[in-house]
Amino acid sequence: MAKILIVDDDPNVALLVKMTLSKHDGYSLEIAVNGDKALERIREAPPDLVLLDLMMPGIDGIEVCRRIKSDEKTKFIPVLMLTAKREASDMILGMEVGANDYITKPFNPEELVARVRVHLRIKALEKESAARVELETALGMSVTLQHKINNPLTGVVGNIELLKDWEKLSKEDIDEAIESAYVCALRIKNIIKQMGKLNRVISTPYIGDQKMIDIDKSLEEKKE
């Protein structure tokens, strides 16, 4: 159920917005009477969408929007501004601080519902896209580790198997097996260290439809 926060210092407008949206299933509706209360509720339990009055005493809608969009935890919440002012300068200012859309008061109920639906749908699609990217990255990481670590890991295991029969080996063979296992272990350690330094992912084809991470290119400094 989508959670919507309605922020307006006019209780009549806030109630009208709530009643309009309550006629449609799938919404959990809350009201905040000022900017302070709105920011408090957003910090405690971020909503899926905010309907925000532009003109409020104290912290106005512009500042509330600015704070929402400047916080990493809340910046992707759609903010629809409700305003009785139709001047272009106010709309531009709202967009500059990150507002996603404008609805002028008095509002058309059907338009309000339609715009809320659109922005909730956009957010849902963005979430699906982000989840898909995360999954693809995880799969790429798995394929990369399997490909990069398989050979040195085989070397470690093979040399340990060899050392199980150390009594049958010469000192030179034992020393060589230990050194070989050590070198392979260092390769694995280095690969894991490199993977931990990645702050972006550049993929490269592997087998069939599979992709793996190109560690070297991913570690290259990003050119502006």
CATH of the domain at 82: 3.40.50.2300
The answer to whether position 119 is within a domain reads no
The CA–CA distances, whole Å, from 183 to 152, 175, 176, 179, 197 equal 8, 12, 10, 6, 21
Beta-carbon contacts of residue 191 (< 8 Å; ≥ 6 apart): 145, 148, 149, 152, 215
Question: Are both 14 and 60 inside the same structural domain?
Answer: yes
pLDDT tens digits for range 197-217: 777 777 777 776 677 777 777
Q: What are phi and psi of 29, to 5 degrees?
A: -110, 130
Question: Are both 213 and 146 inside the same structural domain?
Answer: yes
The CA–CA distances, whole Å, from 85 to 9, 35, 97 equal 15, 18, 17
Question: Are both 58 and 144 inside the same structural domain?
Answer: no
Question: Are both 103 and 16 inside the same structural domain?
Answer: yes
Mean pLDDT across 2-21: 94
pLDDT tens digits for range 155-190: 999 999 999 988 888 999 999 999 999 999 998 888
User: Which domain covers residue 90, as residue numbers?
Assistant: 2-107
CA dist., res. 30 & res. 39, Å (int): 13
- What total of structural domains would you count in the chain? 2
The answer to whether position 113 is within a domain reads no
CA dist., res. 22 & res. 121, Å (int): 18
pLDDT tens digits for range 48-104: 999 999 888 899 999 999 999 999 999 999 999 988 766 667 777 778 889 999 888
Q: Which residue type does 114 have?
A: A
**pTM of the entire structure?**
0.64
Question: Are both 103 and 140 inside the same structural domain?
Answer: no
Question: Are both 97 and 29 inside the same structural domain?
Answer: yes
